[in-house]
Structure 1
Amino acid sequence: MLTGVVVAAVLSTILTATWVTVGPLRAVPPTERHAPAAAAPPGPQWSTAWAAAPASGNRTGPPGHTIRNVVHTTIGGPSVRVRLTNRFGAGPVLFGHVTIAVSAHAGGRRDGSDDPSDGTAAPGTMRDVTFNGKTRVTVPAGADALSDPVALDVPVDTDLLISVWTPVRPPVSTYHVDSKDVSFVSPGPADAAADPSNVSFTGRTTSWFYITGVEVTGAAGTIVAFGDSITDGAATTRGLNQRWPDLLAARLAAAPEPDYGVANVGLGGNRLLLDARYPRTEIDSTAGRSGEARFAADVLERPGARTVIILIGINDIMQAPRQGDPAQIIAGLARLAARAKAQGLRVVGVTLMPFQGWGAWSPALDQLRGKVNEWIRAGGDGAFDAVADFDQAIRDPADPRKLRRDYDGGDHLHPNDAGMRALAGAIPLDKL
């Protein structure tokens, strides 16, 4: 039997992450992390407006230059702070100058318009980012750094420019490989972080380097979307911000529910139970550490987090070495849910979607997926506060083992933009 997973028994397994606090960071109490459902409650002091899960260390990318990361907000506010990361570094990284600005171009917006950023800042919005009052900060390997608050009116649903200059070339730069957008690189060694123009930024990258979060004041809290390449938006149109977490933020903005931020911490190829590099630990992988290993840093420590939506496990089923026992995947999902609830978060479980046509598919693997989904649909033996049935929302009615053709991104596993809208529409807003 696959029922009867005892969620409470796994609370003692809660993992911790390594952090370096280099600014005046206030611990976020549980009452702020999980705001009550009553009308117009006071929001948390800080909410996450944008996030990315760092995956690995890049040895061939653009460290030692100025990188102008382009990110898109899900909420806004009058004060902002930035989280840098050296989580996968091989040694300390000196960040010599960090700036934040509103982009002169909004990027892909909820109304379907697209005004791509070109690296130019909106006039009057360029701000230095400081750490404990200083423009320089050294972050040890394996750690993150939180900036001081910056006075900047951050708009909703627009691009921000976060520029990072590393004056001493680090051997490894922590990054998120596929941003589904275009950021900019100033290839010379000089500091270009405060340049509001794009003249110096002649290089391009489709990855985010050294950044893992943007946080604002004045918002109602944050929903954290935790998952793999489907949450990361692998088959969505670059630059349009059509991942299901983006579209969930759009639904919230148009609904009576509070306008929560949505933090996307999906990682392509990510597994629930095993690190992506397993068992070849000498090989770097952009799919990151296991979902269980990264859950604390990517979810539990997100300021303003009140709900986590969990969509993970399909890579455990179809990647070698395959997990052939559905009870192991179920137990892993129950452990994540228990850790989130222990910190006062609500938990939404999400069913695993069909993938017939993908190279690894087999009837046996599909049956395994079905057993995991049976448990999720039933509420996970109490593990989940709500369920979003992504499987039902996107499968072909004529053959439930396949994605609907008009939702298929082309590889029979990853949804396209239309499929992402269907997924976002399957999430019960009143349960968030």
Structure 2
Amino acid sequence: MARLRAWAPLGALMGVVALVCGAVIGGFALLDGAGTGGGTGTGRGGGGKGDGWWAPGAQDRIRIGDAEPVSSDPWTGTWATAPAGAEPGAPTGHPGRSIRNVVHTSIGGTGVRVTLSNLYSPTALLIGHASIAIGKDGAGAGNSDSGSGSGSSGDSGSGAEAVAGTMRKLTFARQSSVTVPPRGQIVSDPVELPVPYDGDLLITLYTPAPGGPVTYHPLALQTSYLAHGDRTEDLEGAAYTEPTGFWRYLTAVDVLNRDSPGAVVVLGDSITDGDGSRHGANHRWPDTLAARLRDQHIGVLNEGIRGNRVLADQSRRGCGESGLSRFRRDVLGRAGVKAVVIDLGVNDILRGGVADPAAVTAGLRELTRQAHAHGVRVIGATLAPFGAYGGYGDVAESVRERVNEEIRYGGVFDAVVDFDRVLRDPYAPDRLRPMYDSGDGLHPSDAGYEAMGRSLDLAALEGGRVRARL
């Protein structure tokens, strides 16, 4: 699995197809006590897989699923984010500047590749130079407010520093520059790099010429940086004087990991995106899930978008395409996906005014159908309470409760994680428990996100084998 392969000139583009084709495998080998606790080990230990899908230390784990992969693609996602829209105020991109995206890994590996997206631009994007390195500040770079596009004004760029000896040039079909087509994406050539578990990576892109609108993710909750000129291979962060709370162009990081059985993708809205959690701390609920799965070498990919809906496109507002529209790209297109956790529907009710619960559940059932068509297991979440949030009313609460009942008992998903019961106040069940409320009545606090990440029964991820129906 650690073997790096030379790609043909079209290999970078064909890698996108391989990501989709590599999604058809049934199950994980998981063990986490009763399923509600979990280890938080680093996962750096060795141990190989036995026959079938075994995790290291097979004597302590349950063998599940005997399906063989339909693709020998060796990649597993360690980090991902969903393109949410076009960055405001940047109609021609950031010409003449270097963009240093700082991202946090779930699992590590011996090699790495990245995916770049130009989804929201009608104009081709020229990347003149690109690099990847291990970030020196693995604990997070800044303390900026999560709602803005800029980091802390006092941030000196220290979070943009790379570990000496880890800087690698990224190429695309063996070329140092690449043009990403309008509305398209491209995958880099693989590079050898000892990617850490639970650490920061710096992915830097130099855009020498004007392009179209920037495809971005606005709620990074992690400080990235901008610099003037081509500073892609700078080890120091001194040139990176402009902190930012956005991720730009970058949508996925995949690793070569001999011990990894695959990845879990989490599809959701602002609650999955981590709105309300502490900036730079990696306290979103998928981060807690990643810590529980790390010693089993399972990647966790966060595809949450603030304001996202099941049914309606909100990309003009920077809230992404509907879950139905983006599922193939943001879930099935991710490397090594074996299971998906879906937490969507609140914005359809609260902001979209959907008064028919059957419309929401029909959309969720369609997502399950799409996943099953590719052999991917689906865990669905009940909708958390929002009774103290603006826009709440009796109709919205009735729809939420009826959607939740269908999720619990209607066979919408393969398994259910009941976030409603985890987060609700027992004395006012239409509201968040005070200790789990970030303060706005909708988004959980760090403690709430921790409880969510701990509540998912890991046995639900393994379940029975889902046969692909293509």
Q: State the match for 1:377 in structure 2.
A: 408
Q: How does 1:17-166 map to 2 (within 5 A)?
A: 22=12, 25=15, 27-28=18-19, 33-37=24-28, 40=49, 41=52, 45-61=74-90, 63-64=94-95, 65-108=97-140, 118-166=159-207
Q: How does 1:23-422 map to 2 (within 5 A)?
A: 25=15, 27-28=18-19, 33-37=24-28, 40=49, 41=52, 45-61=74-90, 63-64=94-95, 65-108=97-140, 118-186=159-227, 188=228, 190-218=229-257, 219-253=260-294, 258-276=296-314, 284-320=316-352, 322-378=353-409, 380-381=410-411, 383-422=412-451
Counterpart contact for 1:388–1:428, Cα < 8 Å: yes
Deviation, 1:24, is 5.9
Counterpart contact for 2:268–2:344, Cα < 8 Å: yes
- State the distance in 2 between where 1:346 and 1:117 align: 41
- State the distance in 1 between where 2:29 and 2:294 align: 18
Deviation, 1:90, is 2.6
Q: Which amino acid aligns with 2:262?
A: G
- State the distance in 2 between where 1:212 and 1:29 align: 15
- From the superposition, tell whether residues 75 and 33 of structure 1 become closer, same or farther in structure 2 (CA, over 3 Å): farther
**Identical positions, percent:** 42
Counterpart contact for 1:101–1:125, Cα < 8 Å: yes
- From the superposition, tell whether residues 375 and 21 of structure 1 become closer, same or farther in structure 2 (CA, over 3 Å): farther
Q: Which amino acid aligns with 2:391?
A: A
Structure 2 unaligned blocks of 5 or more = 1-9, 31-48, 55-72, 142-156, 462-470
Cα RMSD of the aligned pairs, angstroms, is 2.0
- From the superposition, tell whether residues 335 and 29 of structure 1 become closer, same or farther in structure 2 (CA, over 3 Å): closer
Q: Which amino acid aligns with 2:343?
A: L
- State the distance in 1 between where 2:158 and 2:334 align: 27
- State the distance in 1 between where 2:22 and 2:240 align: 43
Deviation, 1:29, is 7.4
Q: State the match for 2:457 in structure 1.
A: 428
Per-residue CA deviations over 1:4-25 (Å, capped at 9, x if unaligned) read xxxxxxxxxxxxxxxx963562
Counterpart contact for 2:20–2:333, Cα < 8 Å: no
- State the distance in 1 between where 2:114 and 2:369 align: 29
Deviation, 1:42, is 5.3
- From the superposition, tell whether residues 29 and 55 of structure 1 become closer, same or farther in structure 2 (CA, over 3 Å): closer
Counterpart contact for 1:121–1:196, Cα < 8 Å: yes
The two structures have a TM-score, normalised by structure 2, of 0.80
Secondary structure of the residue that 2:18 maps to in structure 1? coil
Secondary structure of the residue that 1:400 maps to in structure 2? strand
- State the distance in 2 between where 1:198 and 1:388 align: 42
- State the distance in 2 between where 1:91 and 1:21 align: 22
Deviation, 1:269, is 0.3
- State the distance in 2 between where 1:309 and 1:423 align: 12
Counterpart contact for 2:20–2:335, Cα < 8 Å: no
Q: Which amino acid aligns with 1:363?
A: D
Deviation, 1:319, is 0.7
Secondary structure of the residue that 1:107 maps to in structure 2? coil
- State the distance in 2 between where 1:417 and 1:202 align: 29
- From the superposition, tell whether residues 37 and 55 of structure 1 become closer, same or farther in structure 2 (CA, over 3 Å): closer
Counterpart contact for 1:117–1:159, Cα < 8 Å: no
Deviation, 1:314, is 0.5
Q: Which amino acid aligns with 1:53?
A: A
Counterpart contact for 2:381–2:416, Cα < 8 Å: yes
**Structure 1 consecutive aligned stretches of length 4 or more whose deviation exceeds 6 Å:** none
- State the distance in 1 between where 2:326 and 2:121 align: 16
- State the distance in 2 between where 1:169 and 1:220 align: 41
Deviation, 1:38, is 5.6
- State the distance in 1 between where 2:29 and 2:245 align: 41
- State the distance in 1 between where 2:119 and 2:251 align: 10
Counterpart contact for 1:249–1:259, Cα < 8 Å: no
Per-residue CA deviations over 1:144-165 (Å, capped at 9, x if unaligned) read 1001111000000011000011
Secondary structure of the residue that 1:83 maps to in structure 2? strand
- State the distance in 2 between where 1:327 and 1:117 align: 50
Deviation, 1:30, is 5.8
The two structures have a TM-score, normalised by structure 1, of 0.87
Q: Which amino acid aligns with 2:255?
A: V
- From the superposition, tell whether residues 213 and 29 of structure 1 become closer, same or farther in structure 2 (CA, over 3 Å): closer
Deviation, 1:196, is 1.0
Q: Which amino acid aligns with 1:338?
A: R
Q: Which amino acid aligns with 1:198?
A: G
Per-residue CA deviations over 1:168-193 (Å, capped at 9, x if unaligned) read 1223111001100111100x2x2111
